[in-house]
Amino acid sequence: MTPPRRVFVTGLGVICAGAGNVAKLRDLLRTQKRWFGRPTVFPTAGESATLPVAQVSGFEVADTLPRTHRLALQAAREALGAGSAPDAIVLGTTTGGILTTEFALQAGITAPDAYRFHGLDTVAEHLAQSLGVRGPVITLSTACSSAAVAMSVAAALIRSGQARRVLAGGADSLCRLTFHGFRQLQLIDPRGSTPLDAERAGMTVGEGAGFLLLESAPNPDAIVAEIFGAGMSCDAYHATSPHPEGVGAVLAIRRALQDAGLDSSAIDYVNLHGTGTEDNDAAESRAIKQVFAGTLPALSSTKGLTGHALAAAGAIEAVISIIAITDGLLPANTGLQTVDERLKLQPVREPTRARVRTVLSNSFGFGGNNACLVLGEARPETTTIENETTQATATSLSPLRVAAAACFTARGALPQTWEALISGESAAGFVPDAAFSKAVPNAFVRRLKRLPRLMLALAQTALQASGRTSPPALLATGTAWGPLAETQDFLRKLFETGDQFSSPMDFIGSVHNAPAGQVALLLGAQGPNWTCSSGDRSFEQALLCVSLAMAAGADSALVMAAEAHEARLSPLFDPAAATGPLASDGGAALMLVPDDGTPGARVRWLGESGDADSASSAAMALLGQIAGPGYDAVAVSVPAGISAASEIVRLTQMLRPCPVFTYRDRLGQHASVSATATALAAHAVIEGTLPFGPTSIPLPRKRVLLLLLGTHATAVEVFA
Amino acid sequence: MSEQTDTLVTELSRKLVEILGLDMTADAVDPAAPLIGAGLGIDSIDTLELVVMIEKDYGVKIDTRAAGVEALASLNALAAYIRQRRPASFP
């Protein structure tokens, strides 16, 4: 067996408060000048006007393209340099276009066009269009660990041979939702954050973007550094507070070291998550002392300098970690006066020259989502980089066995949905509350709204149906729009009180990975925990994340995707899906295990292909990769508002006599309906009939291809 | 116990159950029992939610842990805390 491909860093790009590029960030790390001040990208009044943020200068809100998108593009272009388009983009973001959306909502704008860049996926999509990327464009949203998670997924794409050059990073802009959310949680330090300090009183919300260009087989002269490993975990402890003993952080750090094949003694410097909040710094210090028992490496948090750029933080800090390696510089813990004695750490106080070969970079987020990266000086065996000819072409990922499937549609759970479809009825519409409201005890869900309740019910139903009593090793969720009711309620209350008050609970619930954090909490799932938010292909990307990790040895995974209709926001964000007779919500969950030969349904992620110009050629390019007869049916998801009639005709001609049909007219229009179709297909290949075509389709070969058309095409096969 | 305190306790009890989605009726909350860490299952997020509500509806800030311990000792204690500090602009 050939060793896994190595992941080299060949380009860096960054933007944060005080530094518009990598050269300026180098200067900033030496001068340590903090660029904290009042926010000017949104209005503030009263107490909130006195709280500092770490705002990037320039990039005022444009009419159309939101600030996050513009920050991301600048840093992405710097990382890419003069190089050609990468094979794939993996981006972490939590804000997407929310800053622009906030202004539009407050102004009462009801034209959906004003919200077309709201979706988290539109940031990476804008990059893909601008840079000409034709492969997978993946968006992850795991709160403050988003960028580190994105880089770990990018590394997995390269190691598995799915891509050779990947642009990976994170981007977030300041906005009212996060600023007032953290303010209402009493987590903003009025004097500017001073991580690890005895007087620390919280974070400074920042913004920016960071990218690494990752390559498996670069020109040796282009190599800047190497990603040795990555580790993820979930605390499964609390929606926002870290486990007080840093249990999840310890797991993530150890997994990253194990993935890198390194002992903790190999780490020369730790770039801490170090937000400056009481709880984070206390928990992280305990985790560090536990992992590095005895001799601690040099360590610091750089958030006292850059602010906490949320989903961009892990990427900005990866760039800082690489500067530490290339420049031989230990970055200082800016802003520190008196170390908190209780932490028993001695952070780097001044920028210090030192040989830095290997760095651990920590990122922890709401939902208990932890991600750690081990970055280092490219190892000397660099000269043996595989060249173009020896490098195997992309191998397909292994199928996974479906141990159980669950879904919720307007008809109820999977058995009711199946019966309705078999009887020729439609499953379109909104899920009735009664279908999922009893699955989890009220004491657990009392503060939760529709999306987390749907997700919890899906997870519980799938886990129970699988007969499994222990939590899944991996958990991946997809959601295009995230918790909309929480977002709407938070902003409504904020605007009603003149930007003074809103609900901390709604803020916590509004982050896209909040439902996944709740599922982890319910199941006690401490493994990696991904939330993909990639529009209509969020489910497929969640499936990709677990497929990559299962290839590396995990024994079980829960994959799910869902949407929850919200009366005001859904029609603005996804108008074609949220209005009309096919307007729907719901979703599905699959319990997956390695293909052990046991009879049952299998599911396999086959590919994602994008094309800036044409959905048609994206679909054709993808079919070219996966071509092969043997399917009984090809079920196609065509998102509302996309015209795909000519593609369907072409697919029908190409694949004749295999029936090709669209299914959203039967299963409903919502962004996660492909998860529902996949769950139903897993049942169908066992039953021998597929009930969501124009008529019931017999499945003698027990093999169905599920395609999604749109700006990108994705393909998943289900067989038995 | 004055009639005014009773009214405020009743009002706070109703808001508590409603805002936190507690699975009980407002009159089932014992006004003398500890609010946090006892039978109600109230945690740090609930506490922050109450803190925001108290500032918004009564103009009374609770911005230190010590203030939180005093104000949230019980519904009766919360009512007393609010009555002592409520500004004139919040009748």
- Residue pLDDT, tens place only, A681-709: 999 999 999 999 999 999 999 999 999 98
Q: Does A503 touch chain B (CB under 8 A)?
A: yes
So what's the pLDDT on residue A389? 40
- Give the domain ranges of chain B: 3-85
**Rounded Cα–Cα distance for residues A162 and A569 (Å):** 36
User: What are the chain B neighbours of A507 within 8 Å (beta carbons)?
Assistant: none
pLDDT digits (tens, 9 = 90+) for A534-568: 999 999 999 999 999 998 889 999 999 999 999 99
Across the interface, of B41, B52, B55, the residue whose CB is closest to A503 is B52
Q: Does B11 touch chain A (CB under 8 A)?
A: no
From A481, A439, A488, A429, select the one nearest A668 (Cα to Cα).
A429
**Which residues 458-497 in chain A show a CB within 8 A of chain B?**
497
So what's the pLDDT on residue A1? 46
CB distance A184–B48 less than 8 Å?
yes
Work out whether strand A298-300 and strand A269-271 pair parallel, antiparallel, or are unpaired: parallel
pTM across the whole model: 0.96
**Rounded Cα–Cα distance for residues A416 and A666 (Å):** 14
What element of type H or E holds A427?
none
Q: Which whole number is the average pLDDT over B53-78?
A: 92
- CATH class of the domain whose range is A400-719: alpha beta
Smallest Cα distance from A407 to chain B, Å: 26
**Rounded Cα–Cα distance for residues A666 and A405 (Å):** 19
Query: Which residues of A are known catalytic residues?
Result: 144, 273, 308
So what's the pLDDT on residue A74? 98
- Give the domain ranges of chain A: 7-379, 400-719
The string of DSSP codes covering A193-205 is: --TTBTT---B-B
A659: buried, middle or exposed (CB in 10 Å: 19+, 13-18, 0-12)? Answer: middle
- For the domain spanning B3-85, the CATH number is 1.10.1200.10
User: Which chain A residue has its CA at the smallest distance from B65's CA?
Assistant: A186
CB distance B22–A503 less than 8 Å?
no
So what's the pLDDT on residue A387? 47
Q: Does B63 touch chain A (CB under 8 A)?
A: yes
| Positions of chain A with pLDDT lower than 70, given as ranges | 1-3, 61-63, 381-394, 612-616, 625, 627-629
**Rounded Cα–Cα distance for residues A516 and A459 (Å):** 10
Q: Does B41 touch chain A (CB under 8 A)?
A: yes
CB distance A497–B56 less than 8 Å?
yes
So what's the pLDDT on residue B6? 78
**Rounded Cα–Cα distance for residues A571 and A115 (Å):** 10
The string of DSSP codes covering A261-315 is: T--GGG--EEE----S-HHHHHHHHHHHHHHT-SSPPEEE--HHHH-B-GGGHHH
Q: Which residue has the higher pLDDT, A350 or B42?
A: A350
Q: Does B56 touch chain A (CB under 8 A)?
A: yes
Across the interface, of B21, B22, B48, the residue whose CB is closest to A504 is B48
A669-to-A137, A145, A664 alpha-carbon distances in Å: 22, 31, 6
CB distance B56–A500 less than 8 Å?
yes
CB distance A186–B48 less than 8 Å?
yes
So what's the pLDDT on residue A2? 57
Q: Does B3 touch chain A (CB under 8 A)?
A: no
Q: What length does chain B have?
A: 91
pLDDT band at B41 (very low <50, low <70, confident <90, very high): confident
The sign one gets for the Cα dihedral A289, A271, A335, A56 is negative
- CATH class of the domain whose range is A7-379: alpha beta
So what's the pLDDT on residue A110? 96
So what's the pLDDT on residue A613? 59
Residue partners of A587: CB distance under 8 A and separation at least 6: A407, A408, A454, A455, A458, A479, A539, A560, A561, A562, A563, A672, A673, A675, A676
Across the interface, of A240, A446, A502, the residue whose CB is closest to B21 is A446
Helical axes A176-184 vs A484-496, angle rounded to 10°: 80
User: What are the chain A neighbours of B41 within 8 Å (beta carbons)?
Assistant: 443
User: What are the chain A neighbours of B20 within 8 Å (beta carbons)?
Assistant: 446-447
Specify the 3-state DSSP secondary structure of A212.
strand
So what's the pLDDT on residue A628? 63
Phi, psi of A540 (to 5 degrees): -60, -35
Highest mean pLDDT, choosing among A382-386, A671-675, B15-19, B47-51 = A671-675
Tokens 């954090």 sit at which residue?
A517
So what's the pLDDT on residue A64? 80
A363: buried, middle or exposed (CB in 10 Å: 19+, 13-18, 0-12)? Answer: buried
The sign one gets for the Cα dihedral A101, A103, A108, A110 is negative
**Rounded Cα–Cα distance for residues A157 and A168 (Å):** 11
Alpha helices in A511-556 (DSSP H): 514-523, 538-551
From A481, A588, A608, A605, select the one nearest A141 (Cα to Cα).
A481
So what's the pLDDT on residue A552? 82
Q: Does B45 touch chain A (CB under 8 A)?
A: yes
User: What are the chain B neighbours of A443 within 8 Å (beta carbons)?
Assistant: 23, 41
Contact between A720 and A685 under an 8 Å Cβ cutoff? The reply is: yes
From A470, A476, A599, select the one nearest A547 (Cα to Cα).
A476
Contact between A146 and A314 under an 8 Å Cβ cutoff? The reply is: yes
So what's the pLDDT on residue A479? 98
From A447, A388, A678, A508, select the one nearest A143 (Cα to Cα).
A508
